[in-house]
């Protein structure tokens, strides 16, 4: 996993250089980021056994297409998870565009490369209404490792407030519904979890920003409450854009 993580990161950086030198007419933008969090929380599941993690990644965008790389590093060992290793790497291919002035859509695929578990792929489609609170509706379909329907639906709203020229505050609410995504979530149909999030974005320079954040997650249905506990997540992320 560690070798694959390094190789994939190198390929993304190399690809960026090749695009910018060989296809100067094509505009490529992107970012690289890294953050420290008190746990790895994903869809309400504590995937780091309550231990801190480093999460880092990079995004390259050209036109409507984005290629993303993301990885999770365990900082402190538990009984089941060793420290100092990348135990998950995700590769995401995304296509996003506006459908008129009011609606934006994104469609793509996430490849989850997991240490000690079966890798899987997940297609997604999301639509955002470009109005107050930016309501977004998404569906995720695990077409690879799931044996049942493999569907997860999500709806969220968010809003950002400018507190000063350099500082902004963002608030968000997310609700998910699981439809037999048995490999990743659970073999049941019902509301899965909700998340309340708050974050700050402080612009250090034109290209560098720091973003502390906090998330509270809890199960909704009885099946979800049997699978996950109420969790809190705190961390800080540093992002460089280019």
The helix/strand/coil state of 144 is coil
Dihedral-angle region of residue 16 (phi above 0 means left; psi in -120 to 50 means alpha; beta otherwise): alpha
CB neighbours (10 Å) of residue 46?
16
pLDDT tens track for 103-124? 999 999 999 999 989 999 999 9
CATH of the domain spanning 2-241: 2.40.160.40
- The residue ranges of DSSP E strands in the chain, in sequence order, are 29-37, 41-42, 45-46, 53-62, 65-74, 86-99, 103-114, 120-129, 136-142, 151-162, 167-179, 189-203, 208-219, 231-241
Of residues 79 and 104, the one with the higher pLDDT is 104
Average pLDDT over residues 89-106: 98
Nearest to 199 by CA among 175, 229, 163, 230: 163
The helix/strand/coil state of 147 is coil
Using the predicted structure, report yes or no on whether residue 38 has a pLDDT greater than 60.
Answer: yes
Nearest to 145 by CA among 119, 110, 123: 119
Q: What is the distance between the alpha carbons of residues 27 and 33, in angstroms, rounded to a whole number?
A: 20
Q: DSSP labels for 161-197?
A: EESSSSEEEEEEEEEEEEES-TTTT-S-EEEEEEEEE
pLDDT at 134: 98
pLDDT tens track for 132-176? 999 999 999 999 999 999 999 999 999 999 999 999 999 999 999
CB contact at 8 A, 128 and 107 = no
- Please tell me whether the overall predicted TM-score, pTM, comes out greater than 0.75 for this model: yes
CB contact at 8 A, 208 and 182 = no
pLDDT tens track for 183-198? 999 999 999 999 999 9
């Amino acid at each position: 996993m560690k070798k694959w993580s390094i190789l994939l990161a190198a390929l993304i950086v190399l690809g960026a250089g090749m695009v910018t030198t060989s296809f100067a007419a094509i505009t490529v933008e992107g970012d690289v980021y890294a953050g420290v969090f008190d746990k790895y929380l994903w869809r309400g599941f504590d995937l780091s056994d309550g231990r801190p993690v480093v999460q880092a990644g990079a995004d390259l965008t050209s036109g409507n297409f984005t290629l993303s790389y993301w990885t999770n590093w365990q900082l402190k060992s538990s009984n089941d998870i060793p420290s100092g290793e990348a135990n998950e790497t995700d590769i995401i291919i995304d296509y996003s565009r506006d459908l008129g002035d009011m609606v934006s859509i994104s469609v793509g695929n996430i490849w989850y490369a997991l240490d000690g578990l079966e890798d899987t792929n997940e297609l997604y489609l999301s639509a955002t209404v470009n109005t107050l609170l930016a309501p977004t509706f998404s569906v995720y379909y695990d077409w690879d490792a799931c044996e049942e329907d493999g569907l997860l639906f999500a709806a969220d709203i968010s809003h950002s407030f400018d507190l000063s020229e350099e500082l902004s505050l963002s608030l968000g609410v997310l609700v998910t519904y699981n439809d037999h995504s048995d490999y990743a979530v659970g073999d049941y149909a019902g509301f899965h979890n909700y998340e309340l999030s708050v974050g700050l974005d402080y612009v250090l320079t034109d290209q560098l920003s720091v973003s502390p954040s906090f998330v509270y997650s809890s199960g909704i249905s009885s099946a979800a409450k049997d699978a996950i506990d109420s969790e809190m997540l705190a961390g800080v992320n540093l992002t460089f854009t280019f």
